[in-house]
Amino acid sequence: MEGLSQGPRAEASFRLRLGDRRTFADRALTLIAIGLGVSALLPLFSVLYMLVVRGSPLLSLELLTELTPGAGMESGGIGNAILGTVVVVMLAAGMSLPLGLFAAIYLAEYGEDSGLSVVVRFAGKVLSGMPSILAGVFAYAIAVSALGSFSAFAGGVALAILIVPTVMLTAEEALRLVPSKMKQAALGMGATRAQMVTKVLIPTAMPGILTGVMLALSRAAGETAPLLLTALFSDYWFDGKLGEPIASLAVLIYNFSGSPFEYQVNLAWAASLVLVALVLLFNVLAQVVTRRPEEH
């Protein structure tokens, strides 16, 4: 408005005037916004820094292969917790992947706009927004109460509930991204619908599906609250009995975080380092898989 009112002397007003209130406000806001944006990253760097500083001194073969120490002990590792996390996550994957993937196939290919697909998608969204501890509460109700004991199996059930919606929604999206011209090509050659899905649709969407699966599994590996109510913890190695409590990295970190013994606290940091490294590795892998050069 100022510029307009100055009319005849317009050329002069084109010059950038740093003292101008508008220019100053603009610059100041930019600085503040970028400052806030950077500060949002500080916690991440702080966490990563602490993990390295406090977690890495304990890194050794013993850490990865020995049993968790009892109170006051000055040696021991997190081997049983690593194995336990792997076991429970595998168990959960075995239960949830068929459910999530077939549901995604139904949504992307068979459901169209059927009533069932509307309900399924709604259920997926509700499940994915549900607090993870409620999955634990449910698994407690059906597996722990019924079988009379905290167990690896119950832990698997709890994590499976959390994996299903993520896998289903990401896999559906990946399947929908397959160009319809490819589906047409297969159908035009006389593929049955199931043949088209298994031979063209799924292989083409595989990178996207794998990304979703890896992200879901890595998130499940870090879940603690549902395991607290289901798998609990164990100071021993997993011996093939799914009906008994089992150790996990996540619960180990929680248990040892409040420990009065320095060594156990240090183990919690080391376990955090291992857990975060695993989770980030999965995340990076997932991104690499997606970016696999497929065309040209």
Partner 1 sequence: MTPQEVLSNTATIADHRRTRPATGEASRVAAAEWLVDCQIEKLHYGSFLAVRDAHVPIAGNQITAFIGPSGCGKSTVLRSLNRMNDFIPGFRLDGSVRFQGQDIYGPDVDPVAVRRSVGMVFQQPNPFAMSIYQNVAFGLKLNRFKGDYDERVETALRGAALWDEVKDKLSASGLSLSGGQQQRLCIARAIAVEPALLLMDEPCSALDPIATRRIEDLMLELKERYTIAIVTHNLQQAQRVADRTAFFYVDTSAGGRTGYLIEYRATGELFDDPREDRTKAYLRGEFS
Partner 2 sequence: MAQPATKQPVSGLSEASRRSPIARPPDAWQGAFERAFRWTACGLAAGVVLLLAGVVFEVVRRAGGSMGKLGFAFLTDSVWDANGDRFGILPSIVGTLYTSALALLIGGGLGVTTAIVLSQGFLPRRAELVMKNVIELLAAIPSVVYGLWGIYVLIPALRPIADLLHEKLGFLPLFSTKLSGPGILPASLVLSIMILPTVTAIAREGMVAVPRRLAAAAYGLGATRWEVIFRVILPTARGGIFGALVLGFGRALGETMALAMLVGNTNRFGWSLLSPGNTLSALLANHFPEAGEVEVGALMCAALVLLLITLAVNALGSLIMRRARRGLTGLG
Residues 44-83 that bind partner 2 (CB under 8 A): 44, 46-47, 50-51, 54
Task: Please identify, using beta-carbon distances, which residue of 60 and 257 lies nearer to partner 2.
Answer: 257
Query: How many Cβ atoms sit within 10 Å of the Cβ of residue 274?
Result: 23
Q: What is the 3-state secondary structure (H, E, C) of the chain?
A: CHHHHHHHHHHHHCCCCCCCHHHHHHHHHHHHHHHHHHHHHHHHHHHHHHHHHHHHHHCCHHHHHCCCCCCCCCCCCCHHHHHHHHHHHHHHHHHHHHHHHHHHHHHHHHCCCCHHHHHHHHHHHHHHHCCHHHHHHHHHHHHHHHHCCCCHHHHHHHHHHHHHHHHHHHHHHHHHCCCHHHHHHHHHCCCCHHHHHHHHHHHHHHHHHHHHHHHHHHHHHHCCHHHHCCCCCCCCCCCCCCCCCCCCHHHHHHHHHCCCCHHHHHHHHHHHHHHHHHHHHHHHHHHHHHCCCCCC
85 vs 204, beta carbon nearer partner 2? 85
Q: How far is the CB of 223 from partner 2 (least distance, A)?
A: 7
For residue 203, the partner it binds in partner 2, partner 1, none, with Cβ less than 5 to 8 A by kind, is partner 1
The distance of closest approach from Cβ of residue 107 to partner 1 in the complex, given in angstroms and rounded to an integer, is 17
Residue 6 binds partner 2 (CB under 8 A): no
| Binding partner of residue 179 among partner 1, partner 2, none, CB cut-off 5 to 8 Å per kind | partner 1
Tell me: does residue 223 bind partner 2 (CB under 8 A). Answer: yes
- What is the CB neighbour count within 10 angstroms for residue 164? 25
In the complex with partner 1, the residue whose CB is nearer, 209 or 268, is: 209
Within 147-166, which residues bind partner 2 (CB under 8 A)? 150, 161, 164-165
Q: Which of residues 185-204 bind partner 2 (CB under 8 A)?
A: 190, 192-195, 197-198
Query: From the CB of 239, what's the least distance to partner 2, in Å?
Result: 22
Question: Number of residues in contact with partner 2, rule: CB under 8 A?
Answer: 92
Q: Which of residues 200-219 bind partner 1 (CB under 8 A)?
A: 200, 203-204
Binding part of the chain for partner 1, among 24-32, 90-98, 187-195, 239-247 by CB under 8 A, reads: 187-195
188 counts as binding partner 1 under rule CB under 8 A: yes
HSE, CB side, 13 Å, CA atoms: give it for residue 24.
5
- Determine the Cα–Cα distance for residues 205 and 254; give it in Å rounded to an integer: 38
Size of the site for partner 1 (CB under 8 A): 20
Residue 112 beta carbon to partner 1: minimum distance, rounded to whole angstroms: 8
Instruction: Among 179, 240, 258, 260, indicate the residue that binds partner 1 (CB under 8 A).
Output: 179
What is the per-residue binding string for partner 2 in 78-107, x denoting contact by CB under 8 A? Answer: --------------------xxx-xx-xxx
CA-based radius of gyration for the chain: 26
What's the rounded Cα separation, in Å, for the pair 167 and 98? 10
The partner in contact with residue 188, picked from partner 2, partner 1, none with C-beta cut-offs of 5 to 8 angstroms by kind, is: partner 1
Interacting residues with partner 1 (CB under 8 A): 179, 181-182, 184-192, 195, 199-200, 203-204, 294-296
